[in-house]
Amino acid sequence: MKLNLLKLIPLFKKQTILVVGDTMIDKFVWGKVSRISPEAPVPVLEVTMETEVPGGAANVASNVTALGARVFIVTVIGEDIAGKSLISMFSKRKINSNYLILDSSRPTIVKTRIIAASQQILRVDKEVKGVFGRFIELKIIANIEELIPKVNAVIISDYGKGILSSKVLKKTISLAKNYRVPITVDPKIDHFKKYKRVTLITPNEKEAIDGMSARNVKTDEDAIVLGKKILRTLCSDSVLITRGEKGMVLFQSNNKVVNIPTRAKEVYDVTGAGDTVISAMTLALAAKADFISAAEIANFAAGIVVGKLGTATINLQELKKTITDFYTVNKLPHEKTN
């Protein structure tokens, strides 16, 4: 029997989650374009507003706290102005930053998106990629070892910037399994086959195809074959492939495949939608939800966040209202059975 989704949501407040991954600042420069530059054939943006929010694994952590849970984050940032700004953002969002590691050799990653009339016209990235040195790697592992016994679930948020080395991945997964806490992964293509024995991996369709070096994935049946192959290859408990307007497909180790149609009413911006999906689903799993119920909650959460511009989060009230409205409009019972 599936759990009542509305009964699960209040349990989010009782969870403590560890997020491990690459953090950054998502900066947005908003404005309007009314002319072309006389210096080059490019548009001139008249800036009206600039905003900054936590990005990458930091956005995952923001999603977790916005949904009412406590969160620890293990990551590395630069000893610079951007790093101080990110720490301030953590404080405002009640993200525990006691396990941040400072590295003077690299800048804090900043991704700047230039937006005109609600459309992104350019992105500028300031970053240094690559695996961190031995000293930093050992500090990352030590922090994870200290925190996993204190949490209800672990999220690996991999953006391929260097935090998640092979040793860090292997150790984190092993510790989570030893302490019997769910471990979920928002994957990076380059590391795809290293996420062995996790509870859940949440690639979008392109990540699933590229991560498995798949070819000729054109139909729904092809996607199902691919999902089952990922499940077998990684020996994971479940795989959730997000497919944009086609919704999601959940694969479980009992060979059950569940198609979940999208709940999005309007799509303005998919930036950070994957962060919302893994945050909501991990919280549901931490609250002892079955995989199908957890995926349904994540699907509703994604439907809300894509209706917002920029890197955004959702809160418990929005999630509860959206689920309630859906079942009311469709005259469906909240308690459902298979």
Please give the radius of gyration of the chain, using alpha carbons only, rounded to the nearest integer: 20
DSSP string for 98-130: TTEEEETTSPPPEEEEEEETTEEEEEEEE---S
Residue 143 has φ and ψ, to the nearest 5°, of: -65, -40
Joined tokens for residue 134: 């031995």
In whole angstroms, give the CA distance from residue 232 to residue 229: 5
In whole angstroms, give the CA distance from residue 3 to residue 183: 21
In whole angstroms, give the CA distance from residue 196 to residue 192: 9
Query: Which helix H or strand E contains 305, and what residues bound it?
Result: helix 291-305
Q: Is residue 237 flagged as an active site residue? A: no
In whole angstroms, give the CA distance from residue 325 to residue 336: 16
DSSP symbol at 190: G
In whole angstroms, give the CA distance from residue 221 to residue 243: 13
Three-state DSSP class for residue 19 = strand
Three-state DSSP class for residue 214 = coil
Joined tokens for residue 288: 């002892």
| Catalytic residue, candidates 220, 237, 275, 325 | 275
Q: Are 312 and 273 in contact (CB under 8 A)?
A: no
Bridge partners (DSSP) of residue 42 are none
Joined tokens for residue 264: 């999005």
- AA letter at 270: V
C-alpha dihedral, 87 to 89 to 92 to 98, nearest 10°? -30
Q: Which residues are catalytic?
A: 275
